[in-house]
Structure 1
Amino acid sequence: MINLDRTDKRILNHLQKDGSLSNLELAEKVGLSASPCSRRVKALREAGIIGKTVTVLEPRPLGLNLTALIHISMDRHTPDRFELFEAEIESYPEVQECYLITGQSSDYVLKVVVKDMEAYQQFLLGRLTRIPGVSGVQSSFVMKRAKDTTEIPIE
C-alpha cells in the first residue's frame, strides 16, 4: 500500500472521471505545474495504482442491446479445471467481466454483452456450455443500468 497525499488523490479522482485529460488540463485542475503533475502520474502508474487508460464505449449505439449476468457452476473444483475455464473465457470478446466468487451455488459470474437474444443463445449453446467442466448455467438479463461506473472512491 502506498501513501497518497491530497494531490495524488485529486489526480486519481480527475483521471477516473476523464482519462482523456491532457497533462496540462490535469495539472490545472489539481493546482500543479505540468512537470510535477506528469511526475506524479508516472509514479502512480509505476506503483500500479493506475492500471490502464481506456475509452468506455456505450453498447447500444453499437447494436449490443442485451447484457446478461451469467452464473456458472463447475463440475470439479480443481486448479486445472478453473484455469481451463478462465483461459477459454479470456478468448470470448462478449465477456466483459469474469469473477470467481464465493457464497453462491455457482463458481463464476460473467457479464456478457451481445446483440440480441439470438446472439445470446448462440453464445450460450455454441460456446459457453461446451467448455469442459461447465455443469450449470443460470442467466439473468439486465433491464436497466441503475448505476454503472468504473470509479473507485479515493478519499
Structure 2
Amino acid sequence: MSIDQLDRRILAVLQKKGRISNAELSETVNLSASACHRRVQRLESEGYIRDYVALLDARKLGVPTTVFVEITLQTQADEVLDAFEKAVARIPDVLECHLMAGTADYILKVVAENTDDFARIHRQHLTRLPGVAQMQSSFALRTVFKTTALPVG
C-alpha cells in the first residue's frame, strides 16, 4: 500500500522521537489520538516501521573509533558471497556491511576503542573472513554528520 502525507509526517516524527506518546504524536501531526494510533499500527504491520531502537553513544561505550573497510573478494561466485556474508555478520564490531558496485565488493563500518583495538579486530576477525583477496581500511577522523532518519518528506 502507499502512504500519504499524514503518514509521512508521522514517520518523520517517529524517526526523531521514537519514544513520543501517542497523545503527543497525534497533537504534533494534528490528528485524533485514535486515528493516529490506527495509522501507526498500519505503518508497523505494513513494514514501514521496522523497529524501535535506542541509539547509543559510541564514545560513552568506549568505541569512539570508526573504520571503513573496503573488501575485494577473490571471486563473486554465489557460494563465496554467501560464506563471506554469513561470517561477517558474526563479528560484533561490524555495524554495517554493504555489497557494492564499484572498486570494492563490500564496505564494512567497524567500531573500535582505538587503533590497537582495530588491529585486534583485524587480526582476529577480518583476516579470517572467507574469500578475501584484498582489504583496505580508512579511519574516520571526525564524524561531520550522522543520522538514522530517512527522507520521508
> TM-score band (shorter)?
over 0.9
The percent identity for this pair of structures is 39
Query: How far 1:78 sits from its partner (Å)?
Result: 0.8
Aligned partner letter, 1:128: L
Query: How far 1:3 sits from its partner (Å)?
Result: 2.4
Q: Deviations over 1:101-121 (max 9, x none)?
A: 0022x1000000011111100
1:129 maps to 127
Task: Report the aligned-residue RMSD.
Answer: 1.0
2:30 maps to 31
Aligned partner letter, 1:93: P
Q: Deviations over 1:30-79 (max 9, x none)?
A: 11122111110111111111111111111011111210000011111111
2:90 maps to 91
1:148 maps to 146
Aligned partner letter, 2:78: P
List structure 1 runs of 4+ shifted beyond 4 angstroms: none
Query: How far 1:125 sits from its partner (Å)?
Result: 1.4
Could you tell me how far apart the structure 2 residues matched to 1:109 and 1:131 are? 13
1:69 maps to 68
Consecutive unaligned residues in structure 1, runs of 5 or more: none
Aligned partner letter, 2:132: V
Aligned length: 153
TM-score (norm 1): 0.94
Matches within 5 A, 1:28-67: 28-67=27-66
* SS across alignment from 1:13: helix
- Contact residue 94 and residue 109 of structure 2 kept, 8 A: yes
* SS across alignment from 2:60: helix
Consecutive unaligned residues in structure 2, runs of 5 or more: none
1:17 aligns with 2:12: no
Could you tell me how far apart the structure 2 residues matched to 1:103 and 1:70 are? 14
Aligned partner letter, 1:145: T
* SS across alignment from 1:3: coil
1:5 aligns with 2:26: no
Could you tell me how far apart the structure 2 residues matched to 1:132 and 1:4 are? 42
